Chains A and B, each alone.
Chain A
Amino acid sequence: DAGVIQSPRHEVTEMGQEVTLRCKPISGHNSLFWYRQTMMRGLELLIYFNNNVPIDDSGMPEDRFSAKMPNASFSTLKIQPSEPRDSAVYFCASSLPPGFRDSENTEAFFGQGTRLTVV
C-alpha cells in the first residue's frame, strides 16, 4: 500500500477563494482524521470519521470549514472562503478499526500533508 495519500502537496490561493484538500486513506482503515499544524498552535485535531461518519468535529474552527467522507477511500476538507489565518499544514491520517483485544495495534498513519498558503 502506498500509505495515506494527500493532494495537493502545496496550495497557494488568494483570500476569499475556496480551497479543497483531498485524502485517500490506507485501504481497510475505517478511521480517518484531519489535523492542522501551525507554529503557534501545534497539531490540532479538526475532525475524525469512523466508518465514513463524522464522530467528533469539535475541532473544526468555524463554519468556513467543512469535511466529508463520501466513501471509505476518499475524504475532503474544504475551506470557503479562505483567509490568511488558515495558512498551515493540513494532515490526514487513517487507522484500523478499534480492536477488541489490547494487543491489536491501531496506530494512525499520516500522510505527507498539504501546505496551504492563503495570501
Chain B
Amino acid sequence: DAKTTQPPSMDCAEGRAANLPCNHSTISGNEYVYWYRQIHSQGPQYIIHGLKNNETNEMASLIITEDRKSSTLILPHATLRDTAVYYCIVRVAMGFQKLVFGTGTRLLVSP
C-alpha cells in the first residue's frame, strides 16, 4: 500500500471548516483514499473513501486532486466532538484488505 504524509497536528475553531490535507504521491491507479478518525480512548471510525471523484457523506467531504497525489478531508462545521486523530490511508479496495495506519493528524477543535 502507498504511504501517506499528514501534518502531525492542526487547530480549528468550533463552527469553522476543518481542512485536513494528505499527500499520497505514490498512489497506484487501483488504490483508494480512505479516512478514519480515532476519538480518545475509542477504536478508529470510518469517515469516507474515494477513488478519483470528490465524495460527500453526512460526516465529511473528500476532495481528491486530479493527479490523485493528494487529498483533503473537509469537516464543514467542526464541533468539539470532532477533536480526534485523523488517519489518511491508501489501499486497494478489492481483494484482501490490509488496512495500515500511519501517524495521522491530531485535530483540536476549540471553542
* Contacts from A to B (Cβ < 8 Å): 4, 31, 33, 35, 42-43, 45, 48, 50, 55-56, 91, 93, 95, 98-100, 102, 104-113
Interface contacts (Cβ under 8 Å), in number, total 63
The A contact surface, by secondary structure, is strand
For B, the interface residue count at a CB cutoff of 8 angstroms equals 23
* Segment at the A interface, from B10-18, B39-47, B73-81: B39-47
Once the chains are docked, how many angstroms separate the CA of A91 from the CA of B87?
16
Given A42-B103, A102-B93; A110-B98 close (CB under 8 Å): no
Q: Does B95 contact A (CB under 8 A)?
A: yes
Taking a contact as CB atoms under 8 Å apart, the answer to whether A91 and B43 are in contact is: yes
A51 to B9, CA, bound (A): 38
- Give CA–CA (A64, B34) in the complex, Å: 32
Q: Are B43 and A112 in contact (CB under 8 A)?
A: yes
